[in-house]
């Protein structure tokens, strides 16, 4: 094993991870910079965080972003899970090719196209642009990511469990909630988190589909970045990174605990 994991492999991994993480680490470090220049270290300070929380515009945008994220991630998870079920459980129905195309295409569709087309739809049906249209747009692109995540779990799911439950007289809906759902729940949770992150992160589609009064944090950050790099933005970014990191680490700990529990249960079952 050690011979095959050679020095070359280790070097590749170390360099690769340095490339992936160094820019983010530098960004976080310079958010604590005393100096207004982002690239010259002037001593440790948290003043940019203070000024961030006093920036009403930025705080309003953060609030809009979080609300859109929560609502759209939840609905996208429901729709995406349904789409995943439809794709894995029903191998034959009219228009299945079109359906799988519509699930996979948004994953790679350039955002400018999705954004423009959704905007033109909202204008055509006469919806006022704002919080509502923003949420609809976010649901649409993130549900496809949820579908892919949940589908990958469903493919490996042991259908005989469901069949056993139904043979014992459980109705399909009850079978779904008592057998299927608990098994695919980790995938659904990571799907929700992915949808939430995609939503709070999105700039392009949001810029097309939101209207006055519904500015999101990325839109605000983008307009400030165009004027120049400031430590305040670094501070805002650091907080966002912190929230996401805590969420991801918490989720992986929960997953690990479930895994350990499952192994213990299996061992107990074998002994008993």
Partner 1 sequence: MTRALSAITNRLVILVPYLWLLFFFLIPFVIVFKISLSTTAIAMPPYTPVLGLADGFSGLMSQIGEFSFDNYLWLTQDALYFNAYVSSVVIAAISTFLALLVGYPIAYGMARAPATIRPTLLMLVILPFWTSFLIRVYAWIGILKPEGLLNQMLLGTGIIDQPLVILNTHTAIFIGIVYSYLPFMILPLYSALEKMDYSLIEAAQDLGCPPISAFWKITFPLSLPGVIAGCLLVFIPAVGEFVIPDLLGGSQTLMIGKTLWNEFFANRDWPVSSAVAVILLLLLVVPIMFFQQAQARAQEEGR
Question: Should residue 240 be labelled a site residue for partner 1 when binding is judged by CB under 8 A?
Answer: yes
Look at the block and give the residue holding tokens 């530098």: 26
Binding test (CB under 8 A) with partner 1, winner from 35, 47, 57, 89: 89
**Closest distance to partner 1 from the beta carbon of 233 (Å):** 7
Map tokens 């670094």 to a residue.
234
Q: Which of residues 45-74 bind partner 1 (CB under 8 A)?
A: none
In the complex with partner 1, which residue's Cβ is closer, 66 or 204? 204
Query: How far, CA to CA in Å, does 236 sit from each of 34, 65, 219, 250, 255?
Result: 16, 13, 13, 21, 29
Tell me which residue has tokens 């909630």: 177
Q: Which stretch binds partner 1 (CB under 8 A): 12-20, 49-57, 179-187, 263-271?
A: 12-20
Size of the site for partner 1 (CB under 8 A): 90
Taking CB under 8 A as the binding criterion, the range among 43-51, 66-74, 236-244, 260-268 that sits at the site for partner 1 is 236-244
**CA-to-CA distance for 197 and 180, rounded, in angstroms?**
26
The C-alpha angle 203, 204, 210, rounded to 5 degrees, equals: 80
Minimum distance of partner 1 from residue 271's CB (angstroms): 25
Helix, strand, or coil (residue 33): strand
**In the block, which residue shows the tokens 């948290």?**
46
Q: Which of residues 113-172 bind partner 1 (CB under 8 A)?
A: 113-114, 116-118, 120-121, 123-124, 136-137, 139-140, 143, 147, 151-152, 155-156, 171-172
In order of 61, 70, 84, 204, the CA distances from 184 in angstroms are 34, 21, 11, 32
Task: Name the segment binding partner 1 (CB under 8 A); options: 51-59, 66-74, 85-93, 263-271.
Answer: 85-93
Q: Give the nearer residue to partner 1 in terms of CB position, either 13 or 185.
A: 13
Is 183 a binding residue for partner 1 by CB under 8 A? The answer is no
Instruction: Identify which of residues 2 and 271 has a Cβ nearer to partner 1 in the complex.
Output: 2
Give the HSE-up count for residue 254: Cα atoms under 13 Å, Cβ half-sphere. 11
Residue 187 engages partner 1 in binding (rule: CB under 8 A):
no
The Cα–Cα gap between 185 and 174 comes to: 15
Residue count of the chain, please give it. 272
Binding status of residue 212 toward partner 1 by CB under 8 A: no
């Amino acid at each position: 094993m050690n011979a095959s994991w050679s020095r070359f492999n280790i070097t590749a991994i170390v360099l690769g991870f340095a490339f992936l993480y160094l820019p983010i680490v530098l960004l976080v470090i310079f958010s604590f910079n005393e100096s207004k220049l982002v690239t010259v270290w002037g001593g440790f300070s948290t003043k940019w965080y203070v000024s961030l929380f006093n920036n009403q515009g930025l705080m309003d945008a953060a609030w809009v972003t979080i609300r859109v994220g929560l609502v759209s991630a939840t609905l996208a998870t429901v729709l995406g899970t349904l789409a995943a079920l439809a794709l894995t459980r029903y191998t034959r129905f009219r228009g299945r090719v079109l359906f799988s195309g519509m699930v996979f295409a948004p994953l790679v569709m350039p955002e400018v196209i999705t954004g423009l087309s959704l905007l033109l739809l909202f204008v055509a049906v006469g919806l006022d642009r704002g919080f509502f249209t923003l949420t609809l747009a976010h649901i649409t692109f993130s549900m496809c990511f949820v579908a892919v995540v949940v589908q990958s779990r469903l493919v490996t799911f042991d259908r005989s469990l469901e069949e056993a439950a139904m043979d014992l007289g459980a109705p399909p809906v009850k079978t779904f909630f008592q057998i299927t759902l608990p098994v695919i729940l980790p995938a659904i949770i990571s799907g929700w988190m992915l949808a939430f992150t995609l939503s709070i992160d999105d700039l392009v589609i949001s810029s097309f589909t939101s209207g006055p009064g519904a500015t999101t944090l990325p839109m605000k950050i983008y307009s400030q970045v165009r004027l120049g790099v400031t430590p305040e933005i670094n501070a805002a970014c650091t907080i966002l990174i912190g929230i996401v990191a805590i969420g991801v680490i918490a989720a992986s700990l929960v997953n690990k605990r479930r895994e350990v529990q499952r192994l213990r249960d299996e061992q107990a079952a074998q002994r008993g």
